């Protein structure tokens, strides 16, 4: 059994292995980015980097997450960079039990690439996400481009540190 961060989105339990999670933060104000898909809420400044924030419910179910006090952002590793996954709530860090459910979904041709496996938490089924496959190639490129754009704008909008004002 492995440890996972268990969370909810669209009234479904999902999880990510703790090995890919950097931190969980409370964040609700994101810098919007124009001309990006609806599931990208914007960017969030963390440790002097602009990180894209993905609304998981919007990405998977085409329905935006309703803001409330339970919402959290899971900062996690994705393709050698950090992204934020915006979720409805966090259940906690838990040990989950393996199942054979994905074999049945594969047979029925219903398994999606972003579904790593199905796990059990007591009597509930938890979907383990594979972040590498959450986006197709075009979406991944769009996401990386939006991060690059946000970081460039952040650099351009910073005042020069070496500039001195001559008041004399």
Work out the average pLDDT over 60-82. Answer: 92
Q: 2-157: CATH homologous superfamily?
A: CheA-289, Domain 4 (2.40.50.180)
Residue 12 scores a pLDDT above 80: yes
Predicted local distance difference test score (pLDDT) of residue 102: 64
Q: How many CB atoms lie within 10 A of CB 159?
A: 6
Predicted local distance difference test score (pLDDT) of residue 163: 45
Residue ranges per structural domain of the chain: 2-157
Alpha-carbon gap, residue 24 to 161, rounded angstroms: 31
CA dist 161 → 46, 116, 143, 164, 166 (Å): 20, 46, 30, 8, 14
Alpha-carbon gap, residue 153 to 147, rounded angstroms: 10
Predicted local distance difference test score (pLDDT) of residue 5: 97
Predicted local distance difference test score (pLDDT) of residue 4: 95
Predicted local distance difference test score (pLDDT) of residue 113: 76
If you write DSSP's letter for every residue of 37-72 in order, what string do you get? -TTEEEEEEETTEEEEEEEHHHHHHS-PPPP-TT-E
Higher pLDDT, 20 or 109: 20
Give per-residue pLDDT as tens, 128-140. 999 888 888 888 8
Query: pLDDT-derived band of residue 81, with 50, 70 and 90 as boundaries?
Result: confident
Residue from 102, 107, 92 nearest 13 by CA: 92
């Amino acid at each position: 059994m492995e440890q996972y961060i268990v969370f909810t989105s669209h009234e479904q339990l999902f999880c990510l292995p703790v090995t890919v999670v950097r931190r969980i933060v409370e964040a609700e104000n994101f810098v919007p980015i124009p001309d990006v898909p609806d599931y990208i809420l914007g960017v969030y400044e963390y440790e002097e980097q602009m990180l894209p924030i993905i609304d998981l419910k919007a990405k998977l179910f085409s329905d935006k997450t309703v803001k409330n006090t339970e919402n959290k952002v899971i900062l996690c590793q994705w393709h050698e960079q950090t992204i934020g996954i915006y979720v409805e709530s966090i259940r906690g860090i838990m040990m989950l039990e393996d199942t054979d459910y994905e074999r049945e979904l594969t047979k029925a041709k219903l398994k999606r690439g972003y579904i790593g496996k199905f796990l059990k938490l007591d009597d509930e089924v938890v979907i383990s996400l594979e972040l590498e496959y959450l986006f197709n190639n075009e979406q991944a490129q769009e996401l990386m481009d939006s991060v690059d754009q946000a970081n460039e704008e952040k650099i351009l909008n910073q005042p020069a540190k070496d500039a001195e004002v001559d008041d004399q």
